Amino acid sequence: MPRLYFIRHGETDWNREGRLQGRTDTALNARGREQASIVARHLGEIMPSPADESLLKGLPFHASPMRRTRQTVEILRGSLGLDPLGYAPDDRLREIGFGAWEGRTWHEVRARDPIGTRERERNRWTYQPPGGESYAMVMERVSDWFSGIREDSCVVAHGGIARVMMVLCGGMTPENAVTADIWQGKVLVFSKGSMRWMPAPGHA
């Protein structure tokens, strides 16, 4: 299995406010732009041979085509001295769709759709919000993307995509993946059926 360096997009105002973004095309805020620069440093530090610049220069970059991910990968690549536009956007890496719930906080969703939220708590992996997607549905499109990956790559996408990849190539169960912490400003390394955050949670 190729080694994958997964990076979640930087913070947006909706992240800070706890709003479900899904397919809504939000932009990075100032902290998110800073996180994109920070994660570039982390990526350079964890390369198998950091002194060999050709490793990083030759690494394919794949990204969701949404604005917050495009901004992240372009800042990241620019910080590494690479062509900011030298990446491949792929619609299969878009965030999970939350449908009618998008733009609301979880508190607002629970108040407006108590039945739906209770159903989701019973099975987060297969529950499909009104007009949205389930993680199982997202798994199908991400699996299709992953089947075409033949070499070590960097992936810049979303929290929902990270959860699916934890199951697809990180050895985690769906039940654990849907509640796992998904960090911004860090790199999630998938290698040989396992995964680890770099730097580890609790370290800057």
Name every residue whose Cβ is closer than 8 Å to that of residue 96 and which is 6 or more positions away in sequence: 22, 132, 133, 135, 138, 158, 160, 161
Any catalytic annotation for residue 9? Answer: yes
Any catalytic annotation for residue 95? Answer: yes
Which residue in the list 9, 42, 62, 158 is annotated as catalytic? 9
- Other CB atoms within a 10 A radius of the CB of residue 124 amount to 16
Which residue in the list 11, 74, 95, 133 is annotated as catalytic? 95
Active-site residue set: 9, 95
